[in-house]
Structure 1
Amino acid sequence: MIRLLILLMVLPVAAAARPVTGLLEKASPLPATIPLQVRAPADMDHAIILTDDQGTPVISGYLRGGAVLRLLVPPGDHRLTVASGPAQDWQGLPDLFGAPAIVLPQPLPFFIDGTRREGQAITLSKKGDGLRITDRQNRVICQNAGWDSTRVVKTLPSGTQFRYVERRLDPRSIPCD
């Protein structure tokens, strides 16, 4: 009985565990294939949330102060929301840090153009008590494909040898200009 009482006293005070830098939640059914990179100041942690034009969350990530968040996101024009606060104030995804978040007024485009996956790289900096976006660049990944060939020799039980070249398509993703 005493243990239960102590547990009930501790539960409302306990905060959500601090996540590692990376994906928090993906709500979109579309495949996440387009790059997003976010850099932010080291003194606070940040929650990065992308929403669609109706305000529905698409994907979210957690950025520990001083780290770089790299996510693959679904295609579309997404609004960026950033919530920041001390690591000990993290309350989980719905409540974030308990403080107001900043919302980028214009949606960011994430799309595929032929063999190019066009994403975004963003740098956040301190502005008074809040944050501002000081740099935004396109982050592009090119999808290249090449053939990989292997010579194969097979011997049948009768002793006859078959020789042929086995070809396999080998797709690669590389950063491009």
Structure 2
Amino acid sequence: MHRLFALLLIVATALPAWGQDPPRAGLMWNRSGLPATLPLVVQTMPGRDYVVFLAPPQGGDPVMAGFIQGGTFFRLLVPPGTWAVRFAHGRDWQGEDELFGPATEWIGLDQPLTFEAGVARRQGHLIRLMESDGQVEVASQGPLDICQGLTVTTEIDRRDESDEDREALNLLPALGLQDLRDDFDTFPRSDFNRLPAPGLRRIETELDTRSRVCPLD
């Protein structure tokens, strides 16, 4: 019995790790210390999943990773800077350390990508990955610029002055005046120390920020 248990244990440890439940599509982690505000869009084909890594172009550990479900729309906000972009891909997810196990394959872009933001434009990138004869390759890569427009709407509501309004609302304290006639009943304190204010106005301002893909130049 003990020999059978030992044999089963040896066989179990010798078998390769089987697939785990993959993470949700989107950001896995951001270790750059920078805010992620610039768009990276990746289009893939179904059949395998991907992990995209961003790293400094001069070398070093990745600063960001995102999980991509093959064949689904993927959009990731990345920090500003110039980054080397690489993809790991496979079919059986085995965790962040093993990725897709021994069958993990890699593909990277030849040149690093620059992500930056201006006053009215955010510069991102669109990458298309295609599979041909069992091999994944970069089909296309290009800029994806997002234009931002700010619309300001202002409404002014002016209230007409009337005797009743002036008496009830528009009598405001006049700065610098003091009641010097405390001994006289002829000049009530409220009338002496208050001056009519102009008609009331209410100003309402709405700010509307809208983003759209910039037209090609």
Q: Which range, TM-score by smaller chain?
A: 0.7 to 0.9
Question: Which of 19, 32, 36 pairs up with 1:32?
Answer: 36
Structure with higher Rg: it is 2
Q: CA deviation at 1:91?
A: 2.0
Tell me the equivalent position of 1:143. 148
Cα distance, 1:150–1:44 mapped onto 2, change above 3 Å? same
Q: CA deviation at 1:15?
A: 4.5
Unaligned runs of at least 5 residues, structure 2: 1-11, 160-164, 171-198
Cα distance, 1:136–1:163 mapped onto 2, change above 3 Å? same
1:166 maps onto 2:173 in alignment: no
Question: Quick one: distance in 1 between partners of 2:126 and 2:17?
Answer: 37
Contact preservation (8 Å) 2:27, 2:66: yes
Bigger drift between 108-117 and 41-50 goes to: 108-117
Q: Which has the higher strand share?
A: 1
Q: CA deviation at 1:93?
A: 2.4
Tell me the equivalent position of 2:188. none
Q: CA deviation at 1:153?
A: 7.5
Q: CA deviation at 1:39?
A: 0.7
> 1:126-162 CA deviation, whole Å, 9 max, x = no partner?
133331100112111112212132446799xx34572
Cα distance, 1:131–1:55 mapped onto 2, change above 3 Å? farther
Cα distance, 1:43–1:144 mapped onto 2, change above 3 Å? same
Question: Which of 80, 92, 97 pairs up with 2:85?
Answer: 80
Per the alignment, in what secondary structure is the counterpart of residue 101 of structure 1?
Answer: strand
Question: Quick one: distance in 1 between partners of 2:134 and 2:31?
Answer: 31
Q: Which has the higher helix share?
A: 2
Question: Quick one: distance in 1 between partners of 2:51 and 2:97?
Answer: 11
Tell me the equivalent position of 1:66. 71
Contact preservation (8 Å) 1:61, 1:69: no
Tell me the equivalent position of 1:94. 97
Question: Quick one: distance in 1 between partners of 2:118 and 2:158?
Answer: 41
Q: Where does 1:89-128 land on structure 2 (aligned, <5 Å)?
A: 89-98=92-101, 99-128=104-133
TM-score w.r.t. the length of structure 2 is 0.66
Q: CA deviation at 1:165?
A: 1.6
Q: CA deviation at 1:71?
A: 0.9
RMSD: 2.7
Amino acid at match of 2:113: L
Q: CA deviation at 1:44?
A: 0.8
TM-score w.r.t. the length of structure 1 is 0.79
Per the alignment, in what secondary structure is the counterpart of residue 34 of structure 2?
Answer: coil
> 1:80-136 CA deviation, whole Å, 9 max, x = no partner?
1111111xx212223211213222231112112442111111110113333110011
Question: Quick one: distance in 2 between partners of 1:162 and 1:114?
Answer: 36
Question: Quick one: distance in 1 between partners of 2:206 and 2:27?
Answer: 33
Contact preservation (8 Å) 2:156, 2:201: yes
Question: Quick one: distance in 2 between partners of 1:153 and 1:62?
Answer: 55
